[in-house]
């Protein structure tokens, strides 16, 4: 079967002949695409093929494939509309900065130079002068814009009731604003702003972020974050967080709103010592559990948690226990503690204690808790790949706008990674597509033949690469 498909690029509409056929080897339906030309009269099917390149005056050559894929993919996903609904006429400019962060993460002041060498300047027109970027960060960082975006975003994305992952990271800086305060970071004291990230457990996609003054301890930021999430309609789902958030106030608050949770128990709590001392038979075969390629011992205890019923899971990793005990034994002579205290120090090696408000199967406890590493990985990517640090802004609105840009870029990166698969990284894919150039003439761009690897990437996204694109 043969039919004509029409595509609009820039100000021009183009026609392509699509022929469907059945592949004899794969036994699956496929399509062949033939470029027909610029649409002159759609009803009469009159098309104008491009003039020979040698008859046209070439202006310059631009990087094309990387931003073309991002632009068309996000347009298909409805993300471009989300940006315009949230930020109006600033949507195009924000989109170009997202593409810049993905394709060439560097200082914001260099974005205009990058844009001038890329076809994005025609695909999605926007002014990326340094002052305009500064103005944009202030504009999108206004409280009402921030709220509007998350209302639209959380309605737009798919999120489950499987659980929330909550984590916090410090952003050391030397900026001058009330939120930048002295706090602990990597066992040192720095001026910092803390960033709280909420991630959907099922999809590992970011849902929300908050920034918090650096002097406020992690434990105080949990309930306000959950309260804000409830305002956006996300509540009563399982939450997983680290020991830094463990406190009586937080635990009682979670019971109060009937939100189930899992938390790692801090070692300085009385209940920690009690459940470990009550697990003398922990290395019994009946508590042996296989978790992937790891062999663990896990014993469940019913406990009273600030007057509420809960479950404590004592998890022993034998391999880790051996390493940690050996190291401690070599240092025992230098430790000024009683023999009983030293005995407990040895006893707790290789052990962590997890507290859950609801009962969970022993073989699911550790995978459930370690799913929170998804949030840690997103922080790592934001800092290293997207160059989130250092912060250079001195206004709260511009800082919030910049963090919002990073958050949105992070989400787009994860979308691309899921679509691309595991054979290549997002960075590799975008570098491969960057090699697809566009030759620019007076009113249109000519795109040369693409390589097999480039074609397979575009096919994975369901994107047709035009031979000619209007500007």
pLDDT grade for 110, boundaries at 50, 70 and 90: very high
Asked if pLDDT for residue 272 goes beyond 90, the answer is yes
Q: How far apart are CA 300 and CA 392, in angstroms?
A: 48
Record the tokens describing residue 280, joined without a space: 């003398």
Q: What percent of the chain has pLDDT over 90?
A: 53
Q: Is the pLDDT of residue 183 over 60?
A: no
Phi, psi for 390 (deg, rounded to 5): -85, 155
Q: What is the mean pLDDT of the chain?
A: 87
Q: 440 - beta bridge partners? A: 60, 445
| Encoded tokens for 385 | 């790949």
Lowest mean per-residue pLDDT among 187-191, 255-259, 382-386: 187-191
* pLDDT for position 175: 64
pLDDT tier at 76, thresholds 50, 70, 90? very high
**Mean local confidence (pLDDT), 333-338:** 89
Question: What are φ and ψ of residue 204, in 5° steps?
Answer: 60, 25
Element (H or E) spanning 183, and its range?
strand 181-185
Residue with tokens 């690029």: 9
Q: What is the DSSP letter of 20?
A: E
pLDDT at 415 over 70: yes
Tens digit of pLDDT for each residue in 197-251? 899 988 888 999 988 886 677 788 888 888 888 888 776 678 998 898 999 999 9
The 10s digit of each residue's pLDDT in 291-302 is 888 999 999 999
Rounded mean pLDDT of 5-33?
Answer: 80
At 54-63, the pLDDT tens digits run 445 557 899 9
64 token code pair: 């094309």
Q: Give the whole-angstrom CA distance, residue 209 versus residue 272.
A: 31
3-state helix, strand, coil in the chain (%, to 5): 45, 25, 30
- 232 three-class SS: coil
Q: What is the pLDDT of residues 140-182, one digit of tens each?
A: 999 999 999 999 999 888 776 678 898 888 776 656 565 555 5
Measured at the CA of 422, the angle between CA 416 and CA 423, to 5 degrees, comes to 110
Alpha carbon dihedral 249, 255, 257, 261, in 10-degree steps, equals 100
For the chain, percent of residues with pLDDT exceeding 70? 90
pLDDT at 431: 96
| Residue whose token pair is 């990271």 | 169
Complete DSSP assignment for 130-169: HHHHHHHHHHHTSHHHHHHHHHHHHHHS---SS-EEEEEE
Q: How far apart are CA 279 and CA 315, in angstroms?
A: 10
How do the domains of the chain map onto residue ranges?
1-49, 263-362
């Amino acid at each position: 079967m043969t039919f004509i498909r029409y595509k609009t690029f820039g100000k021009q509409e183009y026609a392509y002949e699509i022929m469907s056929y059945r592949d004899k080897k794969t036994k699956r339906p496929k399509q062949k695409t033939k470029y027909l030309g610029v649409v002159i009269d759609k009803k009469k099917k009159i098309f104008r093929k491009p003039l020979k390149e040698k008859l046209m005056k070439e202006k310059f050559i631009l990087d094309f494939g990387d931003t073309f894929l991002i632009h068309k993919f996000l347009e298909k996903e409805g993300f471009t509309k989300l940006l315009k609904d949230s930020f109006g006429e600033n949507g195009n400019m924000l989109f170009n900065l997202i593409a810049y962060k993905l394709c060439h993460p560097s200082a914001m002041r260099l974005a205009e130079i990058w844009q001038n060498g890329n076809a994005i300047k025609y695909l999605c027109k926007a002014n990326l002068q340094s002052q305009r970027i500064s103005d944009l960060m202030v504009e999108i960082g206004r409280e009402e814009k921030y709220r509007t975006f998350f209302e639209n975003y959380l309605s737009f994305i798919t999120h489950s009731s499987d659980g929330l992952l909550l984590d916090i990271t410090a952003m050391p800086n030397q900026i001058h604003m009330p939120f930048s305060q002295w706090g602990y970071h990597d066992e040192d004291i720095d001026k910092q702003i803390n960033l709280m990230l909420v991630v959907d457990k099922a999809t590992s996609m970011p849902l929300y972020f908050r920034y918090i003054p650096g002097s406020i301890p992690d434990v105080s930021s949990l309930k306000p974050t959950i309260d804000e999430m409830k305002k956006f309609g996300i509540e009563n789902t399982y939450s997983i967080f680290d020991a830094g958030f463990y406190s009586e106030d937080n635990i009682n608050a979670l019971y109060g709103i009937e939100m189930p949770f899992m938390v790692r128990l801090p070692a300085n709590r009385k209940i920690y010592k009690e459940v470990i001392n009550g697990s003398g038979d922990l290395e019994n075969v009946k508590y042996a559990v296989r978790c992937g390629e790891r062999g663990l011992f896990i014993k469940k205890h019913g406990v009273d948690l600030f007057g509420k019923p809960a479950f404590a899971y004592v998890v022993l990793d034998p391999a880790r226990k051996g390493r940690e005990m050996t190291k401690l034994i070599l240092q025992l002579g230098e430790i000024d503690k009683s023999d009983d205290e030293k005995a407990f120090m040895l006893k707790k090696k290789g052990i962590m204690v997890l507290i859950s408000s609801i009962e969970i199967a022993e073989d699911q406890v550790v995978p459930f808790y370690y799913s929170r590493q998804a949030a840690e990985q997103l922080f790592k990517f934001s800092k290293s790949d997207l160059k989130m640090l250092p912060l250079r802004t001195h206004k709260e609105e511009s800082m919030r706008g910049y963090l919002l840009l990073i958050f949105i870029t992070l989400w787009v990166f994860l979308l691309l990674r899921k679509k691309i698969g595991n054979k290549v990284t997002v960075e590799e894919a975008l570098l491969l597509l960057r090699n697809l150039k566009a030759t620019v003439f007076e009113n249109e761009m000519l795109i040369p033949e693409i390589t097999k690897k480039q074609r397979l990437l575009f096919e994975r996204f369901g994107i047709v690469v035009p031979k000619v694109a209007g500007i």
